[in-house]
């Protein structure tokens, strides 16, 4: 999946009625960010980052475009 699609998938998930991914520190909603390896990760304004993105987010994005 291209990074642009990953960003869109994460943003759609975070603004859908699915349970949003939140920061372990401050409980704010995480947002997509690109890291030094040009990989999409999740980040929070407090400095928290999370590299593991649940596959279900990308699956939902693909499913919604196929159906």
Query: 59: exposed, middle or buried (C-beta count within 10 Å: 0-12, 13-18, 19+)?
Result: exposed
**The one among 5, 8, 41, 48 contacting Zn ion by CB under 5 A:** 48
**The one among 23, 40, 42, 53 contacting Zn ion by CB under 5 A:** 23
25 sits near Zn ion (criterion: CB under 5 A): yes
Count of residues that interact with Zn ion, criterion CB under 5 A = 7
Q: Compare residues 10 and 23 and give the one whose CB is closer to Zn ion.
A: 23
Neighbour order of strands in the sheet with 49-50? 31-34, 40-43, 49-50
């Amino acid at each position: 999946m291209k990074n642009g699609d990953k960003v869109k998938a994460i943003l759609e998930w975070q603004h859908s009625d699915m349970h949003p991914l939140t920061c372990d520190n401050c409980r704010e909603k995480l947002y997509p960010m690109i890291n030094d390896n040009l990989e999409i990760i999740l980040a929070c304004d407090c400095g928290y980052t999370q590299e593991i993105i649940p596959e279900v987010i990308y699956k939902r994005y693909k499913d919604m475009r196929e159906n």
